[in-house]
Amino acid sequence: MIQSLQALLWGTVAGSALLLGAGAAWWLRIPRIWVCAIMAFGSGVLISALSFELVLEAYQQGGLAASVAGVLAGAGLYFGANRLLAWLTARRHASTPRTQNSSGTAIAVGALIDGIPESVALGLGVVAGAGINPTMLAAIFISNIPEGLASTADMKQARRPGRAVLALWGAIAVASGLAAFIGAIALAQMPAEVLAFATAVAAGGILTMIADTMIPEAYAVDHDYTGLLVTLGFLSAFTLHAVGG
């Protein structure tokens, strides 16, 4: 039970980075280029973390078959959820083309889709290692800040009320904590192959999210600097992994 409460705590902490980014975007004027630079750096951190903290751990724990199946399942789940979200958003815009709130809601749902596999990964790390994985926590926290920044900037432009924006991101932060908590409880007593599969599912979802969302958005603004920033993020997380390991 203590492990589950730890997962709840750290999942909420990671999700709170969305609130931090949202608050910065609401009260400060941060240039878009800096938001995308952080996003590119966070992408590299996440790629390193999912490679060495998730996929490799899943392989060592449950073998190649469970790891490959989990990554493919996670990628498919994220892809399907993202396609469904895009379809629902397109229908809403077609039926109410002048509605401004629909875009903000779609962004928030997208952030929730991103946050669930990340938080489950944190919960699995607590179960597997009896403690929080600092590399994974840092990677998720860093990557959540620019997402909150960019999304809230769009909501602010759409004239969403400040309380509604705060409530939205607060709910997503709580949902992230609950995802980590439920993941820890549900998988605590499972066989090694099941834990490996679940860990790899989180990795597949995160990797697909990075490729579909974070890097393209960063490149649209930072262009040639994106690859360099992703590499710096990757090396930073790898260094933390190497020192900590």
Write down the mean pLDDT value for the chain.
81
**pLDDT for the residue 245:** 60
User: Does residue 51 lie within any of the structural domains?
Assistant: yes
> What confidence tens digit (pLDDT) does each residue in 190-245 have?
888 888 888 888 888 888 888 888 888 889 888 889 999 999 999 988 888 888 66
Question: pLDDT above 90 covers what percent of the chain?
Answer: 11
Q: Is the pLDDT of residue 93 over 70?
A: no
- Tens digit of pLDDT for each residue in 133-150? 777 788 778 778 877 887
pLDDT at 186: 79
Residue 225 in domain? yes
When mean pLDDT is compared across 54-63, 185-194, 196-205, the lowest value belongs to: 185-194
Q: How far is C-alpha 10 from the chain's CA centre?
A: 14
Q: Which pairs from 68-73 meet CB under 8 Å and 24+ separation?
A: 68/200, 69/197, 69/200, 70/196, 70/197, 70/198, 70/199, 70/200, 70/201, 70/203, 70/204, 71/200, 71/201, 71/203, 71/204, 71/207, 72/204, 73/197, 73/200, 73/201, 73/204
The CA-atom distances, in angstroms, between 216 and each of 97, 167, 184, 219 are: 26, 28, 32, 5
Does residue 29 belong to any structural domain of this protein? Answer: no
Q: Which domain holds residue 167?
A: 2-23+36-244
Q: Could you tell me if residue 30 is inside a domain?
A: no
Domain-embedded: residue 50: yes
Residue 237 belongs to some domain of the structure: yes
- The pLDDT of residue 113 is above 70: no
Q: Is residue 155 part of a domain?
A: yes
Confidence of residue 99 (pLDDT cuts 50, 70, 90): very low
C-alpha 44/C-alpha 225 separation (Å) is 13
Q: What is the pLDDT of residue 129?
A: 64
Question: Which has more pLDDT, 164 or 135?
Answer: 164
Total structural domains in the chain? 1
Write down the pLDDT at residue 98. 46
Q: Is the dihedral of CA 47, 48, 50, 51 positive or negative?
A: positive
Determine, yes or no, domain membership for 76.
yes
